[in-house]
């Protein structure tokens, strides 16, 4: 900031926003709150409680939040070599190691090199209004997702949609945009062979600062 001649215009306060005190650290409440603390899952990194606190304590009435809102988007994940090799183990050099799938994690965060195969249309699992004053503790829903073609379904793939301001929006749909965020994948316990039109139930759970998806029999 000083090297570029902005010391008289920009002041850095070396604190978390939740520790700022209006009248001490800030002379008055802010007209605009700009942030980029979103994660690959949208939530995480204290996103929701931090934004709630900023909206309540640091922003003037009718002030602006950037981004304004967003959502968590998902689709059923199909088969390709990259996905298969990264989230499941089967037979290697003649040894059946498939039992390890039952004790490994069911969530993988991958930096995909290839476009994944999506077996369903995009579904919005959860929406977030960053102007909201409502604190989220836990929200759970059952989503019915329809296979658009025959194939092997490995689980759910997830990305984010963000409304920054008015018509300015962002979406990092896997395979369509090179994003610095990795791609979260929530693997089913076992691959499921699906046919076009078949519906799969997925339990989506939103916590205060995390999200989870799993197959619901």
Helix or strand (DSSP H, E) at 82? helix 81-87
**Segment 37-73, tens digit of pLDDT:** 889 999 988 889 999 999 999 999 999 999 999 999 9
Instruction: Indicate the length of the chain as a whole number.
Output: 217
**pLDDT tens digits for 162-206?**
999 999 999 999 999 888 899 999 999 889 999 999 999 999 999
Residues near 82 by beta carbon (within 8 Å), at least 6 away in sequence = 112, 113, 114, 116
Task: Give CA–CA dist 27/22, Å, rounded.
Answer: 6
Beta-sheet strand order (sheet of 138-146): 138-146, 199-207, 211-216
CA distances from 129 to 36, 126, 151, 157 (A): 15, 10, 36, 23
Residues facing residue 65 across a β-bridge: 33
pTM: 0.91
């Amino acid at each position: 900031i000083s090297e570029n001649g902005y010391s008289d215009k920009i002041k850095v306060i070396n604190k978390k926003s939740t520790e700022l005190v209006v009248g001490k650290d800030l002379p008055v409440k802010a007209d605009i709150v700009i942030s980029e603390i979103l994660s690959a899952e949208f939530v995480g990194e204290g996103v929701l409680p931090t934004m709630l606190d900023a909206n309540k304590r640091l922003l003037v009435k009718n002030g602006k939040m950037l981004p304004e809102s967003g959502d968590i988007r998902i689709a059923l994940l199909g088969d390709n070599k990259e996905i298969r090799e990264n989230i499941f183990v089967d037979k290697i050099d003649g040894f059946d190691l498939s039992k390890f799938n039952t004790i490994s994690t069911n969530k993988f965060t991958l930096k995909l090199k290839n476009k994944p195969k999506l077996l369903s249309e995009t579904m919005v699992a959860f929406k977030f209004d960053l102007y909201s004053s409502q604190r989220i503790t836990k929200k759970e829903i059952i989503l019915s997702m329809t296979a658009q073609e025959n194939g092997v379904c490995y689980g759910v793939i997830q990305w984010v949609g963000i409304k920054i301001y008015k018509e300015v929006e962002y979406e990092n749909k896997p395979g369509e945009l090179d994003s610095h965020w990795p791609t979260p994948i929530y693997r089913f316990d076992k691959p499921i062979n699906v046919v076009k039109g078949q519906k799969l139930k997925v339990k989506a759970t939103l916590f205060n600062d995390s999200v989870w998806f799993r197959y619901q029999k």
